Amino acid sequence: MNLPEQSAAIEIRDVVKRYGAFEALRGVSLTIAQGEFFGLLGPNGAGKTTLISSIAGLSRPTRGSVRVMGFDVVTQYREARRALGVVPQELVFDPFFTVRETLRITSGYYGLRHNDAWIDEILANLDLTDKANANMRALSGGMKRRVLVAQALVHRPPVIVLDEPTAGVDVELRQTLWNFIGRLNREGHTIVLTTHYLEEAQALCGRIAMLKQGQVVALDHTANLIGRFKGGTLVLRLSGRPMPDDLQARCPGGLTSDGRYRLTVAAYSEVEPVLARLREAGCTVDEMEMTHTDLEEVFLRIMRQEAT
């Protein structure tokens, strides 16, 4: 494939996507450099999947442009799609073929013949070798997800988009996947990751964009995003009286699903005044933990600050 000189991996310029009166994307612009491991984060409904569909050429923007390795996804769609591999959220598969047949057919879509050596390498790296001749419908959900990853990689695309690749899968698959994807990134492949597992994004991504309601509300290097917020989080499980309103206002997201409060503090010196306020309100502290600010905390704070 002849690539335009000095092209970015992905260029998104003022992309708007409307569905009737609903605006799923509201003027998104960002550039992802070749070789980056880039995170695209946001709550459900933020526009992440719509943006990925626009990058993949599955959804045409109402306004704006998207380029993959310098190729416009609308006017140069053949070249753009050859440069891109996408792992979707949904488990989509053909039940009539084996794993190897599926990968050979996918290779054929890109005009690749005699691709078995690379297919074998992918199978080995995703621990699928012993499933190569198994029918797709006989695989577990985790194994099907591995095959989706394999399909996205079968034509050796320079840009790989992973849309929630580890949702609902076991620890073994996560480790296997990230080892292989990390190797591809070190070899020069550009990786774009969407995930709700923010610890993965923090560990893997050099830069991160956060979307909310179809707009980019934060875009920076991961370390810089985390560095915006000093201090840490006081994690509390209480009994007796409810947490007073003035302290609840410092808990992004409110009470968590496991019955804890995550209260932001600027320094350790704030912990004792918080405990004194809880005693004054008649609250009993059953559990307490102090954690340093991480990407999850930053995400919650940014989403709260940017509420519209």
Whole-number Å distance between alpha carbons of 261 and 248? 8
When pLDDT is averaged across residues 203-207 and rounded to a whole number, the result is 96
pLDDT of residue 169: 73
Element (H, E) at 102: helix 99-109
Whole-number Å distance between alpha carbons of 106 and 37? 25
The percent helix, strand, coil of the chain (3-state, each to 5) is 35, 30, 35
**Residue in 135, 130, 108 with CA at minimum distance from that of residue 120:** 130
pLDDT of residue 4: 52
Q: In this structure, are residues 83 and 157 in contact, taking their beta carbons and an 8 Å threshold? A: yes
pLDDT of residue 253: 74
Q: In this structure, are residues 299 and 210 in contact, taking their beta carbons and an 8 Å threshold? A: yes
Q: Which residues pair with 26 in a beta bridge?
A: 16
Least confident of 140-144, 179-183, 285-289: 140-144
Reported as a single tens digit per residue, the pLDDT across 223-282 is 999 888 777 889 999 999 989 999 998 887 788 888 999 898 887 888 999 999 999 999
Reported as a single tens digit per residue, the pLDDT across 96-152 is 899 999 999 999 988 888 899 999 999 999 989 999 999 998 988 888 888 999 999
Instruction: Bin 120: left if φ > 0, else alpha if -120 < ψ < 50, else beta.
Output: alpha
Q: In this structure, are residues 76 and 2 in contact, taking their beta carbons and an 8 Å threshold? A: no
pLDDT of residue 212: 95
Least confident of 41-50, 163-172, 253-262, 291-300: 163-172
| Band (306; pLDDT cuts 50, 70, 90) | low
- The answer on pLDDT for 2 being more than 80 is no
The amino acid present at 243, given as its one-letter code, is M
The amino acid present at 106, given as its one-letter code, is T
Q: To the nearest whole number, what is the mean pLDDT of the chain?
A: 90
Whole-number Å distance between alpha carbons of 61 and 3? 23
Nearest-10 Cα torsion for 110, 115, 116, 121: -90
- The answer on pLDDT for 308 being more than 50 is no
Enumerate residues 6+ apart whose C-beta is below 8 A from 268: 290
Whole-number Å distance between alpha carbons of 91 and 240? 45
Element (H, E) at 29: strand 22-32
Whole-number Å distance between alpha carbons of 127 and 150? 11
What's the pTM value of the predicted model, to 2 decimals? 0.80
pLDDT of residue 85: 95
